A and B are shown apart, each in its own frame.
Chain A
């Protein structure tokens, strides 16, 4: 009986906050949902457009492809970095973590323009290669899909490293020693012991990177040179310029539902709060 009272009063305490969340967050979200079925007219026309318009499907496909490739490269590179960090000495690990966090904190806009300076037609790399006589014409590193991938992978690596590092640091080193003691080679120990033990970390890092990639706007817009259109930028154009709010809302709902589905999947492998690390 007493517990029940406590529970009730607990709810009463969070009620104002809950109300705020409903009004400020759930309300607008419902509005988006509602728009996708009512603008320009009531019905499913925004959703059936997915079947009718090849351009919308291509948009989603490009977004999906870039996000999948970004995830693949970020997690593989992030795995190597986390592995090195786990096995480095304490001092070296602190330095590596600092470097990682510095890159994590630099604004996405600054990084994007830095890539243009480095990889552009007149950038450092092309100028260096040309004056060394290795190439005769500048290579197109940016203003295309390759540029978008470079920019996104660079941005996402810290997001991949942090959950992987957490997973690797939690492994008991004696397990590896036992494996070697029982006669397994280093490669066998890695593939059959280490990798399976870090699997939850790999899955968490992959989902985290993939979900965050879905909302990328600045990097594809600039490094893609206008030719790599991803869903976030398209939504913004439909809201601000062409006033196709129904199309924008439909795409937003689609992304939201996919993200929720992915999060549900993720929650089966680990605690969500640990993976998101306070920053999403």
Chain B
């Protein structure tokens, strides 16, 4: 195994040297032979391309395995380039720091579309090349200049059927109503989704949510603050519900199915008024793998198979309309934009969040702490 790794590295080193002109073609081919790079791939120029690789910056855990099998395998088959991972989580501040420092080590970030709006405006991102990436393979709202949505996650809430089995809560108005449904609640800590939920509970029509009225939302949120706890990670949200700390809790929509199935349906997710969030691929300015390769990677991740793979692996809903159409009836209730869910959910506006997210998060923190 170590030998294989060593040989691979040797070949990659040699390819770099060859490209930089430090190594003759003959020696390069000899090293490739030594390293066991097959002749057809050399002829097709793939060993030369092996100098390139794409590094996907994601959140680790299951996502590494899922991105590898759903996107990495077809991408490598098509281009010969390996997909590697940096699993430290591409938060906005980290992307900005990486680009500002001039030492860019990731090619593509598994981020949010609002990151694309915020960091695109400040000059930290490469624009998406829509001659390679397709605007038709995502939702029309979610093909932006500096980022394209590949999958959707979202915010929904779950309730305990043992507490509310006979008269279950149906929407955010019920979630925020402590008289009709006394008990504890949980919300996401960094404002996303919680502001939209509070406004819908306050009677704002789903199509009239944006621009968000932050003050109005916070009034609603502080009204139930004494009965609310706040989570920062998906597993924390999960624990709060199954440990009985709350009788209704907000979750990341794509995780709801696992909670429901693992507890034999004791905890149920309410998809009505769920907020769909566009997860997006964004490219830090000056990515090491080059523009051409990374755009190719994004195009592969738009394919129907890749998107269905991510849906079955991570529960995140495809954005490619063709992939959505291929979701089976059994899976449809869990896909946030399936035909049955689409009329009752809300699409997040990444432009508003990209421009106002900083103020919204700080106002939210101020109100809950």
Contact = CB atoms under 8 A, between A and B. Distances in A.
Given A221-B232, A227-B225, A243 B369 contact: no
Given A225-B230, A229-B369, A241 B245 contact: no
Interface stretch (B90-98, B132-140, B338-346): B90-98
B94 A143 contact: no
A237 interface: yes
A143 B92 CA distance: 28
A242 B357 contact: yes
A240 interface: yes
B368 A243 contact: no
B361 A226 contact: no
Interface in A213-256: 221-222, 225-229, 234, 237, 239-245
Contacts, number: 65
B6 to A, nearest CB: 31
B179 interface: no
A242 B361 contact: yes
B243 A226 contact: no
A111 interface: no
B362 interface: yes
B120 to A, nearest CB: 13
B358 A242 contact: yes
A121 interface: yes
Contacts of A242: 357-358, 361-362
B236 interface: yes
Contact of A240 (B91, B230, B231): B91
Given A227-B368, A237-B361, A237-B365, A143 B190 contact: no
Interface string B329-359: 0000000000000000000000000000110
B245 A243 contact: no
Contacts of A222: 236
B230 A226 contact: yes
A188 interface: no
A245 B94 CA distance: 12
B225 to A, nearest CB: 7
Given A121-B184, A241-B190, A243-B92, A226 B245 contact: no
B92 A241 contact: yes
Contacts of B361: 237, 241-242
Interface string A91-127: 0000000000000000000000000100011100000
B358 A240 contact: no
A55 interface: yes
Contacts of B40: none
B368 A226 contact: yes
B96 A237 contact: no
Interface in B93-120: 93-94, 96, 118
A229 B364 CA distance: 12
Nearest to B366: A55
A241 B230 CA distance: 17
A19 B241 CA distance: 52
Q: How large is the interface on B (under 10, 10 to 19, 20 to 34, 35 or more residues)?
A: 20 to 34
A226 B362 contact: no
A62 interface: yes
Contact of A244 (B243, B362, B366): B362
B360 to A, nearest CB: 9
A57 B94 CA distance: 27
Contacts of A239: 93
Contact of A243 (B93, B239, B243, B365): B93
B334 to A, nearest CB: 27
A148 to B, nearest CB: 12
A233 to B, nearest CB: 9
Interface string A258-275: 000000000000000000
Nearest to A53: B366
B42 interface: no
A56 to B, nearest CB: 9
Given A237-B365, A242-B362, A244-B358, A143 B91 contact: no
B361 to A, nearest CB: 5
A55 B190 CA distance: 16
A240 B92 CA distance: 6
Contacts of A245: 93
A243 B118 contact: yes
A122 B245 contact: yes
B116 to A, nearest CB: 14
B189 interface: yes
B244 interface: yes
B229 interface: yes
A237 B369 contact: no
Contacts of B236: 222
A143 B228 CA distance: 9
B155 to A, nearest CB: 15
A143 B365 CA distance: 16
Interface in B158-180: none
Contacts of A229: 365, 369
13 contacts: A58-B369, A226-B231, A226-B368, A229-B365, A237-B365, A240-B92, A240-B93, A241-B190, A241-B357, A241-B361, A242-B357, A243-B96, A243-B358
Given A59-B369, A241-B91, 14 more contacts: A58-B369, A120-B243, A121-B245, A122-B245, A143-B229, A225-B230, A226-B231, A227-B225, A227-B230, A227-B369, A228-B369, A240-B93, A241-B361, A243-B358
Interface of B: 91-94, 96, 118, 184, 189-190, 225, 229-232, 236, 239, 243-245, 357-358, 361-362, 365-366, 368-369
Interface of A: 55, 58-59, 62, 116, 120-122, 143, 221-222, 225-229, 234, 237, 239-245
Instruction: Give the top 3 A-B pairs by smallest Cβ distance, nearest first.
Output: A226-B230, A229-B369, A225-B229
